[in-house]
Amino acid sequence: MGNNVNKMSALLIATIASFLTPFMGSSVNIALPAIASEFATDAILLSWIPTAFLLTSAMFAVPFGRIADIHGMKKVFTSGIIIFTIASFLSAMAPSTLALIGFRVLQGIGSAMIFVTGLAIITSAFPPQERGKAIGINIAAVYTGLSLGPVLGGLITHYIGWRSLFYLMVPFGLLVIVLVFWKLREQEWAACKGEKFDLPGSVIYSTALVLVIFGFSSLPDIWGIAAIIAGVLLFLGFIRLELSIASPVLDMTLFFKNRAFAFSNMAALINYSATFAVTFLLSLYLQYVKGLSAQNAGLILIAQPIMMAIITPFAGRLSDRYEPRIMASVGMALVTLGLLIFAVISAQTTFEYIIIGLIVLGIGFGLFSSPNTNAIMGSVERRFFGVASATVSTMRLVGQVLSMGIAMLIFALLIGRVQILPAQYPALIQSIQITFIIFAVLCFGGIFASMARK
């Protein structure tokens, strides 16, 4: 009975925490026009409000995953919730765009600690034959957060103001902290206790990631190209270092010797790179081009995550019984179709057309995500659960940052550093069309990555 209580408590706590961060992300996306209006922010700086959060989360995911394996997942998870809660409060009080971006960086650090430990705690608490169902429930909570984010975010932004979105996270964060100390006070997971932490590798990894993402967002400027080259060289040095030491922050042999792990992570990276900016782009389209309020735009955007929340638990349960590769590949194909639907969007596009595209995307992503995640976590030994969870989170976060980076690059080339006013609407529509074409091509390649694993 005690073990069952621990399983259910771990699932409850990790699931609540997994709800908070996507809710925060999707609700802030819908509030971006209101933030831009208050601070008179240009399009490029505005896009750094979600990007700074994602980039910081990606930077720290792998190091904190390793720290969790060594010192305990519950410790890292609890510290992450505390940091996330404090950062949310500070973000609500931000006096400027730059201050808000700074507080979002701190929020990203806390989120990284939550991301990498939540899934690992569930994987550690549940036996393999129950793991897919538990992961499906956890991922469904993520999509529920995505579902409620645009709707509640739109309502809150419209009636109370965008700052209330950040204030809302504070009581939820405090609730999770109380539950951890109440339900899991005697529980801890540390499969690599006593091993050394690879600080040089962590610094090189984080620096390389920042250089690549910063460079990508600065293209076509010469400094952007230089930053990407420097970042790639650092990544190569990181791989060489990790292969040569006894306790690496990221065991690279998992990628070279584990086909299922490598291709499942590649598929996840491609999928998130092609899908994350969808809400950002459609939020701007619906509010600027279509003239909808934040509230009404959120009601339309809810179609995609609702389908995700419905499909994901069933897909996770089925992946315990059947080959997840086929299910995930079908999901990737549907996502490609959904992206192509938006590649021809225009000022005259009907709301019904947009909702159909969002439904197709939601079904595809629901079929892909939990089977793919179950395949990753089930392909490694228990001692690698923290690192594998961190890798899942890193693929998601890096993919999300790349997705925003692609959108930022197209915006920089076609719109420039100006506020989005009616004169820029034709360029905004063209930017959205080009971005969706790029995303569709990426996702089409992801179908083959998904099928390539055994």
Q: What is the mean pLDDT of the chain?
A: 83
Tens-digit pLDDT profile for residues 255-300: 888 888 888 888 889 988 888 888 889 988 998 889 888 778 878 8
Q: How many domains does the chain have?
A: 2
Can you give the pTM of this predicted structure?
A: 0.74
380 & 435 share domain: yes
Of the pLDDT bands very low, low, confident and very high (cuts 50, 70, 90), residue 143 is confident
* Residue 270 and residue 379 in one domain: yes
Residue 120 lies in a domain: yes
Q: Is residue 194 part of a domain?
A: no
What is the model's pLDDT at position 217? Answer: 64
Position 189 scores a pLDDT of 64
Tens-digit pLDDT profile for residues 145-182? 766 777 788 888 888 899 999 999 999 999 999 988 88
Same domain, 386 and 317: yes
The verdict on residue 15 lying in a domain is yes
Whether 118 is covered by a domain: the verdict is: yes
Confidence (pLDDT) at 352: 93
Does 169 reside within a domain?
A: yes
What confidence category does residue 307 fall into, taking pLDDT thresholds of 50, 70 and 90? confident
Q: Which domain holds residue 30?
A: 2-182+259-452
Q: Is residue 188 part of a domain?
A: no
| Sequence-distant (≥ 6) Cβ neighbours of residue 213 within 8 angstroms | 51, 55, 58, 231, 398, 401, 402, 405
* One domain, residues 231 and 360: no
Asked if 230 and 350 sit in the same domain, the reply is no
pLDDT at 417: 66
What average pLDDT does this structure show over 382-407?
76
Q: In this model, does residue 43 exceed pLDDT 80? A: no
CA pair distance 423, 414, nearest whole angstrom: 13
CB 4 within 8 A of CB 26: no
Residue 59 lies in a domain: yes
Please determine, for residue 439, whether its predicted confidence score (pLDDT) is greater than 90.
Answer: yes
Q: Which of 47-51, 64-68, 322-326, 328-332 has the lowest mean pLDDT?
A: 322-326
The CB density around residue 343, as the number of other CB atoms within 10 Å, is 17
Say which CATH number the domain at 291 has. Answer: 1.20.1250.20
In a domain, 233, yes or no: yes
42 and 165: one domain? Answer: yes
